[in-house]
Amino acid sequence: MTQLPPPSSRRLGLVIDLDICVGCHACVIACKGWNTENQAGPLSDIDAYGAAPSGTFLNRVHSFEIQPETGAAQVVHFPKSCLHCQDAPCVTVCPTGASYKRVEDGIVVVDEDACIGCGLCAWACPYGERKMDALAGVMKKCTLCVDRIYNNNLPEEDRKPACVRTCPAGARHFGDLGDDDSAVSRLVAERGGYDLMPEQGTRPTNKYLPPRPRDSTAEIDVLAPFLDPVAETPKGFLGWLDRALEAL
Ligand code: SF4
Ligand code: SF4
């Protein structure tokens, strides 16, 4: 009897730093661009320049204002794509086996030839990270740019997901979260990285790093040195300007 190879401990995924993301959406555009032109593409665009554009995007950034109990309000930009769950309900419910988790690196992908477009995986994913492509009639999702990260035709520095390679702020990190010594695992340990909605029991591979608390506005009044009251009778250039304006 043929022996199956043991499952790999590799768990490739993203670590997203909510303290750093500035909500520029560069990752959204890079994801759309790469995945439209390459293996997962095309990603549909409907009425792209019309009144009601819609399309398939595999990565989104949501922005929220939060008011901590003390201190200044904060805006948090929250990028979200498939989290490559270890216990992925999208895989369990798929009736054809089109959705599967790769043994060698834990990436969750869809075999589009086997997908019948029933939408069960989208219903099962608690994060809303399955995207039915309206034109292709099949389910699409983040592949962690599997066609980049192993692509020997690309320079080594480009063998990362397009979103990670593009992020101008350095808010996105890619690596093996199954290796406790990897740079991403150490970052998660140092910064208290956490799972999104752990109560769902999906054990997502991707992690989020929380925003650091901000100083209170009183402590960061950087304009204070410039806010000295103006003398009642300004002198010098300001005095001349004042008198010139009064003469008009
Ligand atoms: Fe599946 Fe959703 Fe988890 Fe991705 S985030 S593996 S689509 S359940
Ligand atoms: Fe945030 Fe980076 Fe995406 Fe810009 S590219 S929205 S900074 S994660």
- pLDDT at residue number 227: 65
- pLDDT at residue number 168: 98
- pLDDT at residue number 5: 53
Determine if residue 201 is left, alpha or beta; phi over 0 gives left, psi from -120 to 50 gives alpha, anything else beta.
left
Residue-level length of the chain: 248
> Considering every ligand atom, which ligand is closest to the CA of 88?
1
Ligand 2 centre from 25 Cα, in Å? Answer: 5
Ligand 1 centre from 127 Cα, in Å? Answer: 7
- pLDDT at residue number 3: 61
Structure-block tokens of residue 94 = 């798929």
Confirm or reject: Cβ of 209 under 6 Å from ligand 2.
Answer: no
Whose alpha carbon is nearest atom 8 of ligand 1?
125
- pLDDT at residue number 223: 66
Confirm or reject: Cβ of 76 under 6 Å from ligand 2.
Answer: no
Amino acid at 156: E
Q: Which domains does the chain have, with CATH numbers?
A: 12-209 (3.30.70.20)
Whose alpha carbon is nearest atom 3 of ligand 2?
27
pTM: 0.83
Ligand 1 centre from 130 Cα, in Å? Answer: 7
What is the residue-level pLDDT of the chain in tens, covering all 248 positions?
556 556 679 999 999 999 999 999 999 999 999 999 998 889 999 999 999 999 999 999 999 998 888 878 889 999 999 999 999 999 999 999 999 999 999 999 999 999 999 999 999 999 999 999 999 999 999 999 999 999 999 999 999 999 999 999 999 999 999 999 999 999 999 999 999 999 999 999 999 999 987 766 555 566 666 666 555 566 666 567 667 666 65
* DSSP string for 191-226: HT-B-SSGGG----S-EEEPPPPPPPTTTT-TTGGG
